[in-house]
Amino acid sequence: MTQKVHLSSVSLSVEGMTCGSCVQSIEQRIGSLQGVIHIKVSLEQKSATVLFDHSHQSPESLSEAIEDMGFESSVPESSA
């Protein structure tokens, strides 16, 4: 039986990162959440691009998870 998954990609803004280890810890922690397929964090652009399964995560829940780690994060309006 095949399972239907609804994959979405979102780019979240992330404030407060200053070095590579911040990037790494976010990628590790958010990347291990259920429903997160792939995450790429950019230090220069202060953003996190996440590919996720809609049945487990939403842009809001991902943003909250990043906030929970002590960084400021917001969902851009363009991605509904």
Partner 1 sequence: MTKHEFEVAMTCEGCSGAVTRILNKLGDVKFEIDLPRKLVWIESDRDVDVLMETLKKCGKEVKYNGTK
- By the criterion CB under 8 A, which residues form the site for partner 1? 16-19, 21-22, 25-26, 28-29, 68-72
Cβ proximity to partner 1, 8 vs 35, nearer residue: 35
Question: What interhelical angle do 20-31 and 59-68 show, nearest 10?
Answer: 130
For residue 72, the minimal CB distance to partner 1 (Å) is 8
Cβ proximity to partner 1, 28 vs 79, nearer residue: 28
> Cα separation of 23 and 4, whole Å?
31
For residue 44, the minimal CB distance to partner 1 (Å) is 14
> Cα separation of 33 and 74, whole Å?
18
